[in-house]
Structure 1
């Protein structure tokens, strides 16, 4: 394996970096430079060879300590390579990162699977749904309960719409879930809107919603298409929406709209049992990804989480 180099953000060749992400089966939306530039105040990278393999390193500083963290709206990062990685090669990147950062709480991507006692991994749940086939074939795998709900919901005359203003959906998401996700700060929502602009040259952002006959928004989603993966980045469901199963309508219609295009729908969730159960109704399949935590701080600081 070639030498792994630490490259600061300012010195990174963004063009080569983005080519690595777009050309690798491990390359996900979150690792594109434009997305990271928006979501992270600081990020550097480990690079092997002429950008054949890389690992983004989003970091913060507290009490003079630099530590790795997982940015908001960024489910998976980890090690990205144009070729399959051995466990030994993946571990080499983790060990190299630990030379510069004594503390880390980060997620890797679903293809970064390795074993070891020095850096044990905790698996997190994610569900995906292949929607390459036409809608009828995908819909045939819906659960009995979901099919029943979709018939029952018709009496409410809900309307599926293309929402033009993504700011409206981001604001609703913040209103509904900010207290449940205290790690998301005010600036994170602003940064996400910036990320949606940054990634426009190589991806598409879609906003979809379900309204009642009074044009009240019941449920909404912001989806980002990158390569052949459709990311369900933001999902909102109001109290009135839950009462009429508006989310069932929303994702059924999203699947209807995007089926038959050779895509994979990434539900982006979840370790929460109720959310996972909801996505399984549509035929969602497990695609877990690793969470990595280590703490090599001096003993006196180990009790203080950055």
Structure 2
């Protein structure tokens, strides 16, 4: 195996990077340079190179803390991981990349990816998480039969509620819906910087023709909405919100169902990007979506007492399961 180098993203051609991601079996919208530059402007990469040819790459969302470069998974970027050529087995390079990660960085607050196998280098803590995937590989009537009976019933209720669905290029109403109906329920609140970042993410997706915003209106008023990222044969349910009227009328069920209808038989994958909340995961599973596991890694080799402080904060904020 060749050498793994740590490089700032300014050290290589971004078009070369994006071409590698596009050809990788693990390709994912989050890993393209134009997406990383929005969610992690200081991103770096581990690159496995053999005789001038890239064999595998690992994007790293890096930020500065306490005068150190640390790795932390950014908002609106569920997972990254290692991306290989079709001729390289992920399992053959995974350990080497993770060893390099812990060599170059003293603190990995969180790093998400599809890391295979039970054994990882012992210096890493691992939190197992799931997203939910729904392959759009058959005609819509067959896909709909995969919904649970309750989901089909709620879909009929939504269809009888009198919703008007409307595509839009404006994300502001969606953010306002979230601020008015969801933000207060999030522990610690939501910083304005998170909304600013979401606007930038949507703009970057739109420039790639990869953004779809759909609203549900009742009597001319927006009551629910969703932002979908559509890229590389994958539809990601990236952000959504609903008012009490939207929830009562099952508007989000209708929004999701309409996208499923549109892309039925396309071979796309609908990715619900599930949070670690049982009630939401259950809602997504009711569409017939199946869980896919990924891992969130943590590594702490900070000097004392920073190590103790950060370990305490992370346990308090998100206990390992």
Same fold (TM over 0.5): yes
Paired position in structure 1 for 2:95: 91
Task: Give 1:114 deviation, angstroms.
Answer: 5.0
Q: Alpha carbons of 1:97 and 1:207: their partners in 2 closer, same or farther (altered >3 Å)?
A: same
SS class of match (1:288): strand
Q: Deviations over 1:85-125 (max 9, x none)?
A: 35452121112122221111333333544513332422111
- Contact 2:94–2:115 (8 Å) recurs in 1: no
> Does 2:97 correspond to 1:100?
no
Paired position in structure 1 for 2:268: 263
**Take 2:264 and 2:18, find their aligned partners in 1: how far apart are those partners?**
27
Task: Give 1:160 deviation, angstroms.
Answer: 1.9
**Take 1:87 and 1:153, find their aligned partners in 2: how far apart are those partners?**
45
Paired position in structure 2 for 1:195: 201
What are the within-5 Å matches in structure 2 for residues 145-164 of structure 1? 145-164=150-169
Q: Deviations over 1:136-187 (max 9, x none)?
A: 1100111111112222333321122212312332343344444416586423
- Contact 2:5–2:48 (8 Å) recurs in 1: yes
| Alignment counterpart, residue 243 of structure 1, candidates 245, 248, 252 | 248
SS class of match (1:151): helix
**Take 1:113 and 1:236, find their aligned partners in 2: how far apart are those partners?**
36
**Take 1:94 and 1:186, find their aligned partners in 2: how far apart are those partners?**
34
Task: Give 1:23 deviation, angstroms.
Answer: 0.7
Task: Give 1:260 deviation, angstroms.
Answer: 2.0
- Contact 1:131–1:263 (8 Å) recurs in 2: yes
Paired position in structure 1 for 2:71: 68
- Contact 1:73–1:192 (8 Å) recurs in 2: yes
Please provide the CA RMSD for this pair.
2.1
**Take 2:299 and 2:141, find their aligned partners in 1: how far apart are those partners?**
46
**Take 1:175 and 1:155, find their aligned partners in 2: how far apart are those partners?**
26
Uncovered stretches (5+) of structure 1, i.e. residues with no partner: none
Q: Alpha carbons of 1:129 and 1:235: their partners in 2 closer, same or farther (altered >3 Å)?
A: same
Task: Give 1:298 deviation, angstroms.
Answer: 1.7
- Contact 2:73–2:112 (8 Å) recurs in 1: no
Uncovered stretches (5+) of structure 2, i.e. residues with no partner: 314-321
Q: Deviations over 1:62-98 (max 9, x none)?
A: 2212211011100011111114435452121112122
**Take 1:29 and 1:240, find their aligned partners in 2: how far apart are those partners?**
33
Task: Give 1:240 deviation, angstroms.
Answer: 1.7
What are the within-5 Å matches in structure 2 for residues 172-191 of structure 1? 172-179=177-184, 180=186, 182=188, 185-191=191-197
**Take 2:12 and 2:204, find their aligned partners in 1: how far apart are those partners?**
17
157-166 or 223-232, larger mean C-alpha shift:
157-166
SS class of match (2:241): strand
SS class of match (2:305): helix
- Contact 1:223–1:234 (8 Å) recurs in 2: yes
